[in-house]
Amino acid sequence: MWRRTTQILALLLCTLGWTFVGCTLAMDHWRVAQLGGQGGSAVVEIAWYWSNLWKDCYEDSAALVNCVDFGVLWTVKPYIQAVRGLLMIGLCLGLLATALAFFGLECTHIGGDQRSKRGTLTTATAVHLLGCASDLAGYCLYINRVVAAFLHSKADPSRMRYEMGPPLYLGLVGSLLIFLGCASLATTVCRYNQPKRFI
């Protein structure tokens, strides 16, 4: 009974993690920079510069937003192309792994006998881990670029200082949920393979 409950909870954790990762693709403010906000004048003006995987934007204190969409594929920075590709690969692998895990659950009546279900669940766990690694690589690549730009801006005050935005944190939390779900699935599969000891 505990095995079925653990498998269902693990599948829900993985699904929630993949939902978080999918949401980050469409979210704004992957990197943010704030200019202004200094006192001493009658009108305090603040400007925000932010970017995501699809556009660069400028927003002022009057809530007017001007965005420039990234052009054709070959004009986009290579690391943004790499992040896009890694996240898309991870999402495709996650969709495949979720379907495999559903067929491999003990509580479903599809997928064959218990031995084939264990094999399907093992494959689903491996594919989940591969997709999670792809997503983590994409997020870490983007974070590396933001941190490098932040450190360069400290050395050169004329450069803009970007900081990490909420989608990066949400993506890392989603990857952690996927990893926890994979660990739970792997635990249920390993318990199957242990021989029974008779005392």
Question: 175 falls in which pLDDT band (50, 70, 90)?
Answer: very high
> How far is the C-alpha of 99 from the C-alpha of 11, rounded, in Å?
10
Question: 117 falls in which pLDDT band (50, 70, 90)?
Answer: confident
Structure token pair of residue 99 = 């379907």
Question: 156 falls in which pLDDT band (50, 70, 90)?
Answer: low
Range of lowest pLDDT (144-148, 149-153, 159-163, 192-196): 192-196
Cα-to-chain-centroid distance, residue 84: 11
> How far is the C-alpha of 37 from the C-alpha of 66, rounded, in Å?
19
Query: Which stretches of 78-195 are assigned E, i.e. beta strand?
Result: 163-164
Tell whether pTM > 0.85: no
Q: Which domains are assigned to the chain?
A: 2-28+71-193 (1.20.140.150)
Range of lowest pLDDT (34-48, 128-142, 152-166): 34-48
Structure token pair of residue 28 = 């704004």
Q: Tell me the mean pLDDT in the region 101-123.
A: 81
**In the chain, pLDDT over 70 holds for what percent of residues?**
85
- Which CA distances in Å does 39 have to 36, 104, 129? 9, 61, 50
Q: Identify the pLDDT of residue 194.
A: 53
Q: Identify the pLDDT of residue 153.
A: 67
Range of lowest pLDDT (15-29, 123-137, 152-166, 178-192): 152-166
Q: Identify the pLDDT of residue 38.
A: 55
Q: Identify the pLDDT of residue 39.
A: 53
Strands 46-51 and 31-36: antiparallel
Enumerate helices (H) and strands (E) in the chain, giving the number of each: 4, 5
Question: 196 falls in which pLDDT band (50, 70, 90)?
Answer: low
For the cut 60, the answer to whether the pLDDT of residue 118 exceeds it is yes
Q: Phi and psi dihedrals of 83, rounded to 5?
A: -65, -45
For the cut 70, the answer to whether the pLDDT of residue 42 exceeds it is no
Q: Give buried/exposed letters for 123-162 (b at 16+ CB in 10 A, else e).
A: bbbbbbbbbbbbbbbbbeebbebbeebbeeeeeeeeeebb
Per the prediction, the chain carries an average pLDDT of 84
Residue 42 burial (C-beta neighbours within 10 Å; 0-12, 13-18, 19+): exposed
Answer for the pair 160, 94: CB distance below 8 angstroms, yes or no.
no
